[in-house]
Amino acid sequence: MPASDLVNLSGLMDDAKCFAFVRQHRWPDGARCPGCGGSSVIRDGCDDTQAHRQRYRCKACAGRFDDLTGTVLAGHHQPLRVWVLCLHCMGLNLSNRQIAGELGLAVSDVQAMTEQPRHGLVVKCQR
Ligand SMILES: [Zn+2]
């Protein structure tokens, strides 16, 4: 796909697809508790402000988490779709400078976003 199509891609993507992408990326075999690693989790509604951000409750440790808990995506100021496009570009082996150009971001912003995901989307649990 030519990189110039990415701008159009951004317009086509909605939050539901972005969260689906994140879920698929971090939990290819289904959601797991970031606290204890258990797979007995139940859906527990959605985020109050982001309707497609699924919340979960762990049956084993009663921990609560959501799609972005424990990822570098949590609490970042960039919209999720920018992250997803950024990850997509990284998959195409574009440089930070190229990604910045395609997505209309500052190179320093892209650098901050790509630094951690190159080592994996999910950061170590802080507990
Ligand atoms: Zn748990």
Can you give the pLDDT at residue 3? 53
pLDDT tens per residue across span 25-76: 889 899 999 999 999 999 999 999 889 999 999 999 999 999 999 887 776 6
CA of 61 to the centre of ligand 1 (A): 4
CA of 57 to the centre of ligand 1 (A): 8
C-alpha 10/C-alpha 71 separation (Å) is 21
In DSSP terms, 81 is beta-bridged to none
CA of 4 to the centre of ligand 1 (A): 42
CA of 60 to the centre of ligand 1 (A): 5
Question: Which candidate, 100, 121, 124, places its Cα nearest to that of 25?
Answer: 121
Residue-range domain boundaries for the chain:
3-119
Output the CA–CA distances (angstroms, integers) from residue 126 to 19, 70, 73, 79, in the order listed: 22, 8, 15, 23
CA of 17 to the centre of ligand 1 (A): 26
pLDDT band for position 17 (cuts 50, 70, 90): confident
C-alpha 99/C-alpha 89 separation (Å) is 6
- With a CB cutoff of 8 Å and minimum separation 6, the contacts of 93 are none
Can you give the pLDDT at residue 12? 62
